[in-house]
Structure 1
Amino acid sequence: MKLIGSLTSAYVRKARVVLAEKKLDYVFELENVWAPETGISAFNPLGKVPCLVMEDGSAMYDSRVIAEYLDTLTPVCKLLPANSRDRANVKVREALADGVLEAAVAAFLERTWRPAGQQSQAWIDRQMGKVHAGLKQLSEQLGEQAYCMGIHYTLADVAVGCTLGWLAFRFPEIDWRGDYPNLARLFDKLSERPSFKDTAPPSA
């Protein structure tokens, strides 16, 4: 298998963490989707990463789809429960973490890609409102549990850890550590795992 992605995308990091946790062999191919010469559309018409290219040349994209598929390939470190309700709860938490990330990315791009005079502060504020509301919900769901779903490490933790890591990387001014100490404890614990250590953003 070949994973196409970047070193700074939290969505790509999620796929890389899952690959590491599942102990799956793959080739990591760096791709800058913003570059004029990018070839990502040959595999994903949406022009996004991560993109997982299979042995037969077919491609799979969207980090949630990739992560769920990878979890079926080996029983090592099962990240999704078999029980349908528990599985859905993990996926809901993953969706929430991804939603926080999506809103933060939208605000980041508005601030960095548009000239200052063309930026919409109302748009940035709307996205950051989603970020803060999502962080609050993630903290409330976590409570004093060891992991997002209780005592078991799951895909929800992978998604939350990757989102928090990206916020620390791109939005250091957001004091989620001070506001939500339980998220900080979870993130610190996840950061000790080899899968997270080996996939940390290069400037983090």
Structure 2
Amino acid sequence: MKLVGSLASPYVRKVRVVLAEKKLDYQIELEDTWAPETTIHKLNPLGKVPCLVMEDGYVMYDSRVIVEYLDTLTPVCKLLPPNGRERADIKNWEALADGVIDAAVVVRMERTQRPPELQSEAVCQRQLTKVARGLASMSARLGDSAWCAGNHYSLADVAVGCALGWLTFRFPEIDWRGDHPNLGRLLDKLVERPSFRDSLPQA
């Protein structure tokens, strides 16, 4: 398998973490979707990463689709239960974590891809409010638990860890650790895992 994406992308990192946890072999092909010469649209018509290219040439995209598929390939480190409420809860955690990233990405794009005179602070503040609410919800749901969902490591923790890691990387001014120390403790525990330690975001 070949994973196409960026070392800075939290969505790509989520897939990399799952690949590592599942002990699956793959090659990574770096792609800058903002570069004029990018050809990402040949793999994903939406022009987004990650893309997972299978051995037969079939291309899978969207991190949520990819990680769900990867979890079926081997029983090593099962990250999702087969069905039911517990599975839905973990996927709900993932949707929340990805939603926090989605909102923060809008802010980053507004501030880095648009000329200063066209940037909208109102747009940024609206999205940052979503980030703050999302983090507050994560913190409240986690409480004093060791893991996000149930009593074991799951895809929920992978998704939340990648979201928190990316916020630390791109938005150091957001003091989410000060506001939500339980999330900080979770991330500190996650980065002790080789899958997280070996996939730290890079510019």
TM-score by length of structure 1 reads: 0.98
Amino acid at match of 2:150: G
SS in structure 2 of the partner of residue 82 of structure 1? coil
Q: Is 1:87 aligned to residue 125 of structure 2?
A: no
Amino acid at match of 1:155: L
* Regions of 4+ moved over 3 Å: none
The structural deviation recorded for 1:43 is 0.8
Amino acid at match of 2:71: D
In the alignment, what sits opposite 2:32? 32
Deviates more, 1:114-123 or 1:59-68: 114-123
Give % identity: 69
The structural deviation recorded for 1:83 is 3.6
The structural deviation recorded for 1:182 is 0.3
Deviates more, 1:75-84 or 1:169-178: 75-84
Q: Is 1:120 aligned to residue 123 of structure 2?
A: no
SS in structure 1 of the partner of residue 159 of structure 2? helix
In the alignment, what sits opposite 2:132? 132
Q: Deviations over 1:78-102 (max 9, x none)?
A: 0001241100000000000000000
SS in structure 2 of the partner of residue 60 of structure 1? strand
- Aligned Cα root-mean-square deviation (Å): 0.8
Deviates more, 1:115-124 or 1:92-101: 115-124
SS in structure 2 of the partner of residue 67 of structure 1? helix
In the alignment, what sits opposite 2:56? 56
The structural deviation recorded for 1:113 is 1.1
Amino acid at match of 2:183: L
Amino acid at match of 2:58: S
1:1-16 map, 5 Å: 1-16=1-16
The structural deviation recorded for 1:202 is 2.5
Q: Distance in 1 between matches of 2:65 and 2:152?
A: 21
Q: Distance in 1 between matches of 2:107 and 2:40?
A: 24
Q: Distance in 2 between matches of 1:115 and 1:15?
A: 32
In the alignment, what sits opposite 2:198? 198
In the alignment, what sits opposite 2:178? 178
Amino acid at match of 1:101: I
The structural deviation recorded for 1:116 is 1.4
